[in-house]
Amino acid sequence: MKIEKADVVGYYKAIAKTILPHLRNRPLSFKRFPDGIAGEFFWEKDAPGFTPSWVKRFPVPRREGGAPIDYVLCNDTRTLTWLAGVGGIELHPFLHKVPKIDVATHVVFDLDPGEGADLRHCAKVALLLREALPLQSFAKVSGSKGMQLYVPLNSGATHATTETFARLVAEEMARAYPKLVVAKMSKALRVGKVFIDWSQNADYKTNVAVYSLRATGFVSMPVRWEELSGDLQWTPAEAIERVRKVGDLFAEVLKLRQRLPDVGRASARPAPARPPGGRAEARPTFTLPKPSSQSGRRLFVLTGNELWLEMRGRFKRFLLRSDLVAISLGEIEIDPRYYRAEEPPGVDDRGAYEIIEGSWQAKRFELWFSGKVMSGPWSLEQADRTWRLTPR
């Protein structure tokens, strides 16, 4: 299914009133397709360097230490439209709200079909889970191959407690229905079964938002229990029409207060420390990208009259003339020292660059550089056998 950027923007504008309450004040990861659904994609956790100043953000400490991750908060239509405009097709919020990032507002059971299983198997497991749970639950399809079951809490439970509860329930379901359910991570055990992924309740995990568009071209939609035997796929246009007719079937998830039964003393990781004052006063200084990172930040090096841009684990080299015409010199391997700022002498600048839009296939890019010499927005566009690098 082909979806253009205008379709994505149009869908999120139309669904904004319904989806925004489910995103409000939740740190957000988003899957970005700068050249459309058919092109390259990557995850954005840290707000991109070109994020407008009016977009709200919240710093979350990294588990491994270092500078906090500056997550986007999508609290209004303007921000939602901006995300769609930069290729943010899939929206994945956390299960908590700021500033209480150690408190889960609900439990989620992520139902992932293994090889030989499908959405029908997930629906069957969802119904069995509903009967087994001591609390009210709500179902939604992921817009891809699986489903999620949400148990609203809104009562102060920590991620430690919710993750333990979800694991215990998943393991009990696997014991009760061994031919249908598995609770262990190994993909080899999932053949013909549905994996109940309880780990999605960890404080560092995100889940696809209800009403989020997916790269499949379908939408993650809430479903009534009696609908689980029917067709469970909705296109953006169908999703908008469905909401117009039935309203937000997940509205209760936002306000229903329930308490988990006692699951014993949870052996959880310590909650991350909250930043002073709850918010960052300024954008953090960007660190160098990591090798093989899934984010949109890539390494660049400016050395003499050459610009090197990381792409798929290698440097693409460009010879820069005085008129900023860039001549492609092919590719070279990346010396790991460049990621550690231990590069050889002669480097004039290095840092991260990000793709705002464009691709090698389209022969044009809008780029954002976060270096000392190379900084801010630049365009890189091919003309015949050369490229032109232009500050914006």
The fold of the 5-278 domain, in CATH, is DNA primase, PRIM domain (3.90.920)
Smallest CA-to-CA distance from 375 within 55, 54, 57, 49 is with 49
Which CA distances in Å does 334 have to 42, 103, 300, 342, 370?
Answer: 20, 41, 10, 12, 19
Q: What is the pLDDT of residues 332-376, one digit of tens each?
A: 998 888 877 676 677 888 889 999 998 888 889 999 998 888 889
- Give the position of tokens 């090698």: 360
Rg (CA), the chain: 23
CB 306 within 8 Å of CB 373:
no
d(CA 3, CA 1): 6
Helix ranges (DSSP H) in 207-257: 236-246, 251-255
Instruction: Please give the pLDDT value at position 263.
Output: 64
3-state secondary structure of 15: helix
Instruction: Please give the pLDDT value at position 349.
Output: 87
* pLDDT value at 175 more than 60: yes
**Residue-level length of the chain:** 392
Helix ranges (DSSP H) in 247-341: 251-255
Instruction: Please give the pLDDT value at position 391.
Output: 87
- Give the position of tokens 């308490």: 259
239-246, Cβ contacts within 8 angstroms, sequence gap of 24 or more: 239/11, 239/15, 239/211, 240/11, 240/14, 240/15, 243/15, 243/18, 243/211
State how far Cα 368 lies from the chain centre.
20
- Give the position of tokens 């014991």: 175
* pLDDT value at 283 more than 60: no
Instruction: Please give the pLDDT value at position 45.
Output: 94
pTM of the complete model: 0.85
> What are the sequence ranges of the domains in the chain?
5-278, 297-391
d(CA 383, CA 365): 13
